[in-house]
Amino acid sequence: MHRLLQTLGALVSALGLSVGFPVSASAQSCAPRLSFSYPGGEKGCISDLPVAKENAVGMLTSVEQTVPPTGIYSVAAAPRGESCPAAVGMVVLRKYVNGASTFQARDAPDERAKTVISDCQKKVDMTKPQGSSCACKLILEDGTSPMSRAVLESFLASSATAPK
C-alpha cells in the first residue's frame, strides 16, 4: 500500500497535477503525535499543513514541534489570502505532576479553543489591512479537525493556490 501511494504521488507530480495538500504517504507514515482525523475518519498529518512550520503566537517553536505526545492541544489559524496576515494560536496541555498530566478548567477544549482563537485574532488585528475581514478559526483540536479536508485546504490556501 505504501509503495502504491508513493507511485501515485510520483505520477501526480510528474503530470503537474494539484490536488490540494501534498499527495504523499505521510498520513500513513506520519508520526502518531502529528496524525489527525477529519470528520468522517479520513486521516491527515500536521506536517502536510501550511501552518506546520509556523510558530504560534508566543511560542519559539513551530506547530509541528510543539504538538505534545499527550495529544491534548488546540490550534487556530487565520485564513490564508491576499489580505490576511499569517497567524497561528496554539495551546497544549503540558502540566505534569509526578509524570502525570494535571487537568484544570482552563484546559477544557472549549476554553482552549477560545484562547487559541483569541491569540490568533489579536495578532491578525495588529497587522491586517483596514477593511479586511480575517477571522481566525479553530483548525485542530486533540487530534481532530472540525473542518473537512476540502474546507481546511481552502481555508489555508494562499491566494496563489486557492481554488477558483
The tens-digit pLDDT sequence of the chain (164 residues) is 333 333 333 333 333 333 444 434 455 689 999 999 999 999 999 999 999 999 999 899 999 999 988 888 999 999 987 688 889 999 887 554 455 555 554 567 788 899 999 999 999 988 877 767 789 999 999 999 999 999 999 999 875 444 43
92 lies in which domain range?
A: 31-156
Quick count: other Cβ atoms within 10 Å of Cβ 5? 16
DSSP 8-state assignment for residue 94: -
Does residue 109 form part of some domain?
Answer: yes
The structure's pTM equals: 0.74
Say if 22 falls within a structural domain.
Answer: no
Question: What DSSP state is assigned to residue 51?
Answer: T
As a whole number of angstroms, the distance between CA 87 and CA 76 comes to 8
How many domains is the chain partitioned into structurally? 1
Query: What does the pLDDT read at residue 60?
Result: 92
Is there a domain that residue 140 lies in? Answer: yes
Residue 18 lies in a domain: no
- C-alpha–C-alpha distance, residues 156 and 162, integer Å: 8
Backbone angles phi, psi at 56, to 5 degrees: -75, 160
Q: Is residue 3 part of a domain?
A: no
63: cell is 506547530
